[in-house]
């Protein structure tokens, strides 16, 4: 059995996936999403 206790299922591999597919706009979208939902105080 596997139990995930993190607040999110977003992992570094999600960023790497878009990075290696040369999709920088999707890396940025994912980063913006993570910041907005998990660290809103850091959003500028």
Q: Is pLDDT above 80 for 42?
A: yes
* CA 34/CA 38 separation, integer angstroms: 6
Tens of pLDDT, residues 8-30:
888 899 999 999 999 999 999 99
CA angle 22, 40, 18 (to 5 degrees): 10
pLDDT band, very low/low/confident/very high, at 41 (cuts 50, 70, 90): very high
Integer-rounded Cα Rg, in Å, for the chain is 12
pTM of the predicted protein model = 0.77
Q: Give the count of beta carbons closer than 10 Å to the beta carbon of residue 12.
A: 8
């Amino acid at each position: 059995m596997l139990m995930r206790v993190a607040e999110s299922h977003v992992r570094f591999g999600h960023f790497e996936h878009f990075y290696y597919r040369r999709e920088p706009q999707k890396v940025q979208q994912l980063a913006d999403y993570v910041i907005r939902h998990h660290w809103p105080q850091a959003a500028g």
